[in-house]
Amino acid sequence: MRAGLAPLAAAAAGLLQALSLAWPAGGQPLWWLQLLSLAGLAGLLQRAASWKGAALLGWIFATAWLTGTFWWLFISMHVYGGLASPLAAAAVVLLAAFLSLYYAAAAGLYARARAGRTWLEGVLFAALWLGAELLRGTLFTGFPWGAGGYAHVDGPLAPLVPWIGVYGVGAAAAWLAYLLSLLALGTVRASWRYWVAVAASAGLLAACNVQRPSAADGAGGPVLKVALLQGNIPQDEKFQGGTGIPVALEWYGQRLRDSGAQLVVAPETAIPLLPQQLPEGYEQALRATFAQGQRAALVGMPLGSFEEGYTNSALGFGPGRAYRYDKHHLVPFGEFIPPLFKWFTRMMNIPLGDFNRGGVGQPSFEWQGQRLAPNICYEDLFGEELGARFADPARAPTIFVNLSNIAWFGDTVAIDQHLQISRMRALEFARPMIRATNTGATAIIDRHGRVTHALQRHTRGVLVGEVQGGEGMTPFARWVSRFGLGPLWLAALAAAAAALVAGRRGPRP
């Protein structure tokens, strides 16, 4: 390929990577497209004239990938925030370009320190790619939205998820993509070492896919009948006193009172006022509704005061129960303003503020033999934080409950991407995830990551279904609850170091 076409090819491959996470026509992840797109990058890096050129290609690939993944941030800043469209577009691209520096560093290091032997180069590529994904997911509070592993919630790599999580699956995908990229090289196709690596990888995947878990594996506790509320309150009206607020109070209040389900869940900030701002008797009536009988509720609403600070919270109501969950992982610019960026937030007409953080590993809401673990908005993006709740297996959650409001991003692929994220968490921990959202995706996901019930998005309605909790501990839950992402960091560093040392000692195939 001519040098001038390589940047265009890198950008095209990056856009395909974005599309693989949730195909626009249907929202499904395409694992094979993710492998092909990453193989395209690997092939370009192998032909780069210098490590600097490789770093540039990695940066272009990642910038196109990330821009194509979370372009919908433009809607929240421009449509709802009032930021001028050129500035909103520039902000999205600059965020993607900044996060892409991790992948530029990985690509440059790979080209600079290629091991010299086929399988070692693959190990090096996968290890460096894993390191870049981990850096994006942890530094500066982390924003791992659109990590490559999410394309594999379905497909042959899915059985690896309960063992190594989304980042580990992303590294396995990078290894396979590297092997795939070598098919274009005639000399490598003639190497027996290459085909041994291919056969070993195929054999491992086949072994993982031979025995899928049965529907009864890991079932825990009685079946729970749930009602998930989706108010579909327009974002530009949600916090308006003359429109969205009275509609939310009336609609959610009525559905909470009338539902016969054992558990009713209302989404993030379904009640858009602080308790002291509610009409007289509203909260007391809500508590009285669930004070007796066999029903309980989890309801998203803000809490706090100017003196004590505010939290984005979920309140639990039930007979003899008082429960509160405070969101831990806050959204930069939305729920806290990073240092030196107040000038940027002043340019938008979005109700922003510095919220207080809840603790990691907060207790579950215990109801009807299940331990319900709420997470709010994009907190389900951080599996290592959800994993902290598994430190004591006897108190580990049996069901995850996500309360979200993605109306900020319109009717876009953000809804599908978030659904795949929740499905990945269900696979990692072998726990069902029930989702109550303002505009979608309101759904029930079983402990095998399958969507069993779903409500049509951008409609107002109630999703009624049954869910059964999960018991036991996946290998991922065991190690992430003790060590966080430390084992993956060690694996990435050890694999890269081993590939470098071994590569210097041996010739090319």
> H helices within 299-382, ranges in order?
342-345
* Closest to 354 (Cα-Cα) out of 308, 314, 386: 308
Distances (CA, A) of 357 to 137, 208, 267, 269, 311: 19, 39, 19, 16, 7
Helix axes of 6-21 and 31-46: crossing angle, nearest 10 degrees: 160
Please count the other Cβ atoms lying within 10 Å of the Cβ belonging to residue 226: 25
* Closest to 375 (Cα-Cα) out of 478, 365, 262: 365
* Cα 176 from Cα 157, distance rounded (Å): 10
Residue of 121, 133, 327, 428 with catalytic role: 327
Q: Check if the beta carbon of residue 257 is closer than 8 Å to that of residue 289.
A: yes
Residue position matching structure tokens 């079932």? 219
Report, in angstroms and rounded to the nearest whole number, the Rg of the chain calculated over CA atoms. 24
CA 159 to chain centre: 18
* Cα 14 from Cα 42, distance rounded (Å): 12
Q: Check if the beta carbon of residue 152 is closer than 8 Å to that of residue 30.
A: no
Q: Which residues make beta-bridge pairs with 454? A: 443
To the query of whether residue 342 is one of the catalytic residues in this protein, the response is: no
Residue of 133, 283, 335, 377 with catalytic role: 377
Q: Check if the beta carbon of residue 259 is closer than 8 Å to that of residue 293.
A: no
Please count the other Cβ atoms lying within 10 Å of the Cβ belonging to residue 204: 12
* Cα 358 from Cα 309, distance rounded (Å): 12
Distances (CA, A) of 427 to 130, 374, 448, 465: 20, 17, 5, 20
Q: Check if the beta carbon of residue 160 is closer than 8 Å to that of residue 168.
A: yes
Distances (CA, A) of 51 to 112, 252, 444: 5, 57, 47
Q: At residue 401, what are phi and psi to the nearest 5 degrees?
A: -130, 115
Report the SS3 class of residue 130. Answer: helix
Q: Which residues make beta-bridge pairs with 367? A: 370
Instruction: List the helix and strand counts (H, then E) for the chain.
Output: 17, 12
Residue position matching structure tokens 């990577």? 17
To the query of whether residue 52 is one of the catalytic residues in this protein, the response is: no
Tell me the CA end-to-end span of the chain in Å, nearest whole number.
24
To the query of whether residue 377 is one of the catalytic residues in this protein, the response is: yes
Contacts of 446 (CB under 8 A, 6+ apart): 426, 432, 452, 467, 468
Residue of 121, 133, 225, 268 with catalytic role: 268
Please name the helix (run of DSSP H) or strand (run of DSSP E) that holds residue 401, with its range, or none.
strand 399-404
Q: At residue 285, what are phi and psi to the nearest 5 degrees?
A: -65, -35
Catalytic residues: 268, 327, 377
